[in-house]
């Protein structure tokens, strides 16, 4: 990741590294291999941070596993955004983590304790915190459309980042693939582990924007910004990217009315 960040890529721009793994709870492991899970220490974080050579932008963890919430402040003081995910944290533990500097939730509802009317859980805490940004997978599979719309109504257009969570099977036919070392099966475009857990998606971003727009009350401008400007603002890069404006980098895609990509411009050059 550090090498690609420094040398650049053809046809894309790497904005940073997002560490999602190792420091999670088995109860919500998703497609992660729990045999690799570790206790998060300053030494382990420092090793990851050093290996990234300046490109580590976001770091996901299960807050209930921390010996001290001060670990969150330690990470954020290095300019890395802390995200909460693959966690069994309750409402109070999540609220405490947010108070110590965590700033969002990994693919909301998925990989975290959900909402119960007597236990709002991690999901409820993230939805009720006005400052927390939440990732959302808008494939219509990870979240029911009505839940997608509920998140939109609670968080608003400025606190949702649309993500694909796309795996190596994206854009390919149904069949057997691998997610890291785990075998996964894709049927009707849905990726699952052999045990039946969702294993990322085969979603592409333009399809995600289309589905969120068609399945919720969001406007097309709002849905588009959730896939571009909101993430750029979250990474403190909105002055350079995230929208089309004088002085910004020319990074954008041209879509037709059917949301089919007609052209892609990266750093002012037509790539596709």
Confidence check: pLDDT of 31 > 90: no
- Find out whether 201 and 164 touch, Cβ atoms under 8 Å: yes
Q: In this structure, what is the dihedral angle of CA atoms 198, 194, 87, 52, given to the nearest 10 degrees?
A: -90
- Helix and strand tally (H, E) in the chain? 9, 12
User: Which residues, in sequence order, are CB contacts of 46 under 8 Å at separation 6+?
Assistant: none
Q: Is the pLDDT of residue 13 over 90?
A: no
Reduced to 3 states (helix: H, G, I; strand: E, B; else coil), residue 182 is strand
Measured distance CA(108)–CA(96) in Å, rounded: 18
* Residues recognised as catalytic: 165
250: tokens are: 């020319």
Phi, psi of 83 (to 5 degrees): -115, 145
Identify the band that residue 196 occupies on the pLDDT scale cut at 50, 70 and 90.
confident
pLDDT at 155 over 90: yes
pLDDT > 70: percent of the chain: 100
Under a CB-based contact definition with an 8 Å cutoff, are residues 108 and 127 in contact?
Answer: yes
Cβ–Cβ under 8 Å, residues 1 and 12: no
Could you tell me how far CA 149 lies from the centroid of its own chain?
A: 18
What interhelical angle do 91-99 and 121-128 show, nearest 10? 40
* Overall average pLDDT of the 233-252 stretch: 95
Instruction: For residue 194, give the 3-state DSSP assignment.
Output: coil
> How far does Cα 100 stand from its chain's mean position?
20
């Amino acid at each position: 990741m550090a090498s690609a960040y420094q040398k650049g890529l053809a046809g894309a721009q790497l904005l940073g590294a997002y560490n999602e793994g190792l420091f999670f709870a088995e109860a919500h492991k998703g497609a992660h291999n729990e045999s690799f899970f570790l206790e998060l220490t300053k030494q382990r974080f420092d090793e990851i941070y050093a290996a990234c050579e300046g490109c580590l932008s976001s770091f996901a963890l299960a807050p209930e596993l921390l010996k001290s919430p001060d670990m969150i402040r330690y990470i954020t003081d290095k300019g890395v955004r802390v995200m909460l995910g693959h966690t069994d944290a309750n409402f109070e533990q999540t609220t405490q983590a947010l108070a110590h500097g965590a700033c969002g939730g990994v693919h909301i509802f998925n990989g975290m304790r959900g909402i119960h009317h007597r236990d709002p859980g991690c999901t409820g805490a993230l939805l009720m915190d006005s400052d927390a940004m939440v990732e959302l997978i808008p494939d219509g599979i990870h979240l029911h459309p009505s839940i997608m719309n509920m998140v939109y109504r609670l968080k608003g257009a400025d606190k949702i980042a649309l993500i694909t969570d796309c795996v190596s099977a994206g854009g390919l036919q149904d069949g057997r693939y691998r997610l890291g070392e785990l075998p996964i099966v894709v049927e009707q475009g849905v990726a699952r582990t052999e045990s039946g857990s969702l294993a990322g998606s085969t979603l592409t971003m333009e399809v995600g924007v289309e589905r969120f727009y068609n399945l919720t009350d969001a406007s097309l401008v709002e849905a588009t910004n959730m896939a571009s400007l909101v993430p750029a603002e979250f990474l403190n890069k909105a002055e350079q990217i995230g929208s089309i404006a004088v002085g910004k980098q020319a990074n954008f895609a041209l879509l037709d009315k059917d949301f089919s990509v007609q052209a892609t411009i990266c750093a002012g050059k037509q790539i596709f």
